[in-house]
Amino acid sequence: MSAIAMDIRRNRLMMSYLIVAVLLVVLAVAGGFLSDRFLTWRNVGNLFQQLIVLGMVSLGQTFVVLMGGIDLAIGSLVSALTVFLANFLEWRPDLVWLALPLALVAATAVGALNGLLTVVLRVHSLIVTLGMSSVIFGGTLMYRKEPGGSVPRAFADVAYAKIAGIPVSAIILVAIFALAGLWLQRTRSGRSIYFVGGDREAARLNGLPVDRIVVLAYALSGLCAGIAAIFLTARTGVGDPRIGAALTLQSVTPVVVGGTILAGGRGGVLGTFLGVLLVTMLNNLLNFVNVSSYYQWVIQGLIIIIAVGIHTSRRR
Amino acid sequence: MSSSVIELSQIEKEYPGVKPLDKVDFAVQPGEIHALLGENGAGKSTLIRVMGGAVKPNSGAITYLGKRVSWQSPKAARAAGIHVIHQELALFPELSVAENILVDAQPRGRFGLISNRARHARAAEILAQLGVSIPTHARIDELPLADQQMVEIAKALVGKVRLLILDEPTAVIAGHEVDLLFENMRRLRNEGVGIVYVSHRLEEIFEIADRVTILKDGQVVGTAPVGEISREEMITKMVGRRLSQIYPARRAAPADGPDILSVRNLRAGPRVRDVSLSVKAGEIVGVAGMVGSGRTEVAEAIFGARAVEGGVIEFDGKPFPRRVPKDAIAGGLGFLTENRKDEGLFLGLPISANIMAPDLQGITKYGLIDRSRERVLAERQIDDFSVATPSPDVKVGNLSGGNQQKVLFSRWSRIANRLLILDEPTRGVDIGAKVEIYRIVRRLADSGVGVLMISSELPEIVGLSDRVFVMAQGRVVGEVEGDALGEEAIMDLAVRSIERHKATAEEIA
């Protein structure tokens, strides 16, 4: 057996990545056969343009899951932010420079609040973020029941801008993922996420600032939701109080498909990135072959179950 | 030997890179207590799993009650009369004793519904058979560990048990409870049950077992009637080398110089009522006492992991203003926790990350972790403490208990240059690793570190410590040192003070 194969065998995470990568290739080839428009530059460009929203929320979810929690407030938060952005920009289109940072700060603050609540109340993150999700959703509906607002043209263009044929949003996404990977692997706070997720009590007895790390993970998840909301608003041009509803669960799919385990402490952002690619490509392909979006839901659910099944069966 | 309950021949099991069982022959006769002895990683648990149907061997034959069998699942093995009692008990803490005993054989009454009355009657019957009186309505988590273990044994008696396998049953119980367990094992033996008994404790094997089989590196290195093999031979076979001496030499002279740690009248929660003790540089100070006497809680209070209500903790002669473990670590303290899997190690992370966990700032340059430096440091520690691993990237969860413990020593010895607190440093570790750990502890002390060692194993306390504090019911009840240091003196202090306490309580009442 070659050294590389040995290495992959030893490293389960690498193996997870490999499986997802192979699935990606299989899907791409299958797509090529099923539709002659699938593997065109135009479609690939489209596909990459679609990555950013799912990519960002999944990245945020990755931080929280690695730390040993789960963030169910992501979808409501994104919805609320699109409503805020679209309505703010309709009112003062010239204040884009203010609206965007404001949205990011608010998003981070909500995330941090989630973290603080789990730390202070010692309530499971599932409950805290579920409650928070409901509060945000209700609050948004009180303010706007229907989609509304508008965005200036220049801002909308952000979603579709390209450099040398490559969507800017995809470049930003890759850059953010690379930074996130570096942060997780090579910094104190990043690695502490793994420590806290691996064993919270052990982390405490090793002198790590556990509570701060928990809050940090949620705050980052909030920030990621903020970035996702900005691109989503730019793309759709409106603020929709329900647009993010599906995102919460969708954000979990790439994380688990990418080999990060829900118990925390094991996994990484590369897996999530591949997972995002896989899910997005699959949905794109299903659109091409005219499969209704209902089936897309079914298939996405099956993917979660099968992926986790594969990952855990190899662990035995 | 067709009369065997179970006979394994040439059993092999292989995983990528490891071979836990290599052509193992093993047989248990009816009415025999057969001890299975071996270091951690010798293949004992795999062998148990093969017999219990949880692991399928790659090759070899299992003959059970004269017939070739190949278990498809643990359930099949159990149905055939093989019952395994694992170290971690498989009980439902929220359910009653009766429900637990009859977990897979709930008696049905009318309409096929479970009959509560029949259940309790049947459970009581089985418990009576064991000669223990445990209320069948009690919830499992209300029971002491020893009773929980009896419930686990009672489960085996629901069906017809032919082979009972006990994996280190005495790891969690002591004294009188062990006697009760042994009594029941003998009773079952006399009824013709074959018993496999796994333990690290050689004394117990001499007391209870008829035969012993010794495993080393997945191979059987010896099997003999207990009367025909000496303790020394057993250890030599198991470890593969002769143990001239288990404990390293004590300090030649008592440590002088000022105290590194001085604790006076410490109070912290219900289990730490009045504790005074001290540790000097280069000294190993033992803390003995019954389980529940408050030893671990004292360690936690010193380390900043438990709130202090009163008293003084002085470190290097100065009051120690630490509040959280982080400050203690910064001050040169280390704490090897009792439960390494839940409170010490990150099992899913590599050895290097585990070693460096409390000292990430030490390897951070320009805000980034310097991975080559991390590796160098980790490799140095791995060499220094002879952790058996091919690389620092191996996940700690894949190491044996002894090696995990050595990883903890590698971690803390770097940082704890003043005081190291050890809580049950050799729990669940085989004798070979124990000896290594004793040498590590002594070496650390010789380098000038003060060591505070909590242990339930008296031979270890007596063999290793320079001085011993004895605790009972949240108080330090005495100090033993020098020539007086012996197991009797310690037990005497621990027990006498409990009795005195009881007497006073009765007087007041």
Give the β-pairing of B211-216 and B219-225.
antiparallel
Take residue B106 and report the two structure tokens written for it: 């709930």
Contacts of A191 in chain B (CB under 8 A): 353, 360, 369
With CA atoms as reference, the chain A residue closest to B330 would be A207
Cross-chain residue pair B325–A186, CB shorter than 8 Å? no
Judged by DSSP in three states, B46 sits in: helix
pLDDT digits (tens, 9 = 90+) for B185-219: 999 999 999 999 998 777 788 889 999 999 988 89
CB B37 within 8 A of CB B199: yes
Cross-chain residue pair A199–B346, CB shorter than 8 Å? yes
pLDDT beyond 80 at B175? no
pLDDT beyond 80 at B384? yes
pLDDT beyond 60 at B243? no
Cross-chain residue pair A198–B348, CB shorter than 8 Å? yes
pLDDT beyond 90 at B160? no
The count of CB pairs under 8 A between chains A and B is 73
With CA atoms as reference, the chain B residue closest to A267 would be B348
Round the average pLDDT of chain B to a whole number and report it: 85
Cross-chain residue pair B328–A207, CB shorter than 8 Å? yes
How many Å lie between the alpha carbon of B399 and the closest alpha carbon of chain A?
14
CA distances from B26 to B18, B212, B223, B242, B352 (A): 20, 10, 9, 25, 39
Cross-chain residue pair B325–A206, CB shorter than 8 Å? yes
Q: Identify the pLDDT of residue A3.
A: 43
Cross-chain residue pair A202–B328, CB shorter than 8 Å? no
Cross-chain residue pair B349–A205, CB shorter than 8 Å? no
Q: Identify the pLDDT of residue A68.
A: 93
CA distances from A174 to A80, A177, A179 (A): 25, 5, 9
Q: Identify the pLDDT of residue A247.
A: 93
Average pLDDT over residues B224-234: 87
pLDDT-based confidence at residue B286 (cuts at 50, 70, 90): very high
Residues on chain B bordering chain A, Cβ-to-Cβ distance under 8 angstroms: 16, 303, 305, 324-330, 335, 337, 342-349, 353, 357-358, 360-361, 364, 367-369, 371
Average pLDDT over residues B26-31: 94
Q: Identify the pLDDT of residue B214.
A: 92
CA neighbor of A256 nearest in space, from A301, A198, A196: A301
Q: Identify the pLDDT of residue B505.
A: 64
CB B445 within 8 A of CB B284: yes
Check residues B497 and A181 and name the one with the higher pLDDT. Answer: A181
**Distance from C-alpha of A112 to C-alpha of A103, rounded to nearest angstrom:** 14
Question: With a threshold of 0.80, does the pTM exceed it?
Answer: no
Q: Identify the pLDDT of residue A1.
A: 36
User: What is the CB neighbour count within 10 angstroms for residue B218?
Assistant: 23
Cross-chain residue pair A195–B349, CB shorter than 8 Å? yes
A152: which residues sit within 8 A by CB, 6+ positions away?
A: A89, A93, A96
pLDDT-based confidence at residue B508 (cuts at 50, 70, 90): low
Work out the percent of chain B whose per-residue pLDDT is above 90.
30
CATH 3.30.465.10 fits B259-508, yes or no: no
The alpha carbon of A173 is separated from its chain's Cα centroid by a whole number of angstroms, namely 10
B477: which residues sit within 8 A by CB, 6+ positions away?
A: B470, B471, B493, B494, B497
CB distance from A178 to chain B under 8 Å? no
Residues carrying CATH 3.40.50.300, chain B: 6-239, 259-508
**Residue A91 backbone dihedrals phi, psi, to 5 degrees:** -70, -50
With CA atoms as reference, the chain A residue closest to B323 would be A207
With CA atoms as reference, the chain B residue closest to A182 would be B368
B326, B338, B394, best to mutate vs chain A, most A CBs in 10 Å: B326
Q: Is B319 exposed, middle or buried (0-12, 13-18, 19+ CB in 10 A)?
A: exposed
CB distance from A201 to chain B under 8 Å? yes
Q: Identify the pLDDT of residue B144.
A: 80
CA neighbor of A247 nearest in space, from A49, A59, A10: A59
Which range, of B36-40, B48-52, B149-153, B185-189, averages the lowest pLDDT?
Answer: B36-40
Q: Identify the pLDDT of residue B503.
A: 66
For B130-140, give one letter per residue: b (16+ CB within 10 A) or e.
bebebbbeeeb
Distance from the first to the final alpha carbon of chain B: 63
Average pLDDT over residues B53-57: 90
**Residue B289 backbone dihedrals phi, psi, to 5 degrees:** 150, 165
Check residues B286 and B45 and name the one with the higher pLDDT. Answer: B286
* 316 residues of chain A, pLDDT tens digit each: 344 444 444 466 777 788 888 888 988 898 888 888 888 888 888 889 889 999 999 999 999 999 999 999 999 999 999 999 999 999 999 998 999 999 999 999 999 999 999 999 988 899 999 999 999 999 999 999 999 889 999 898 888 888 888 899 999 999 999 999 999 988 889 989 999 998 888 888 888 899 999 999 999 999 999 999 999 999 999 999 999 998 998 999 999 999 888 888 888 999 999 999 999 998 888 888 888 888 888 888 888 888 778 777 665 4
pLDDT beyond 70 at B277? yes
Contacts of B332 in chain A (CB under 8 A): none
Contacts of B345 in chain A (CB under 8 A): 199, 202
CB distance from A199 to chain B under 8 Å? yes
Contacts of B371 in chain A (CB under 8 A): 186
With CA atoms as reference, the chain A residue closest to B322 would be A207
CA neighbor of A282 nearest in space, from A26, A40, A14: A26
CATH number for the segment(s) B6-239: 3.40.50.300
Work out the percent of chain B whose per-residue pLDDT is above 70.
92
User: What is the CB neighbour count within 10 angstroms for residue B388?
Assistant: 13
Contacts of A192 in chain B (CB under 8 A): 360
pLDDT-based confidence at residue B506 (cuts at 50, 70, 90): low
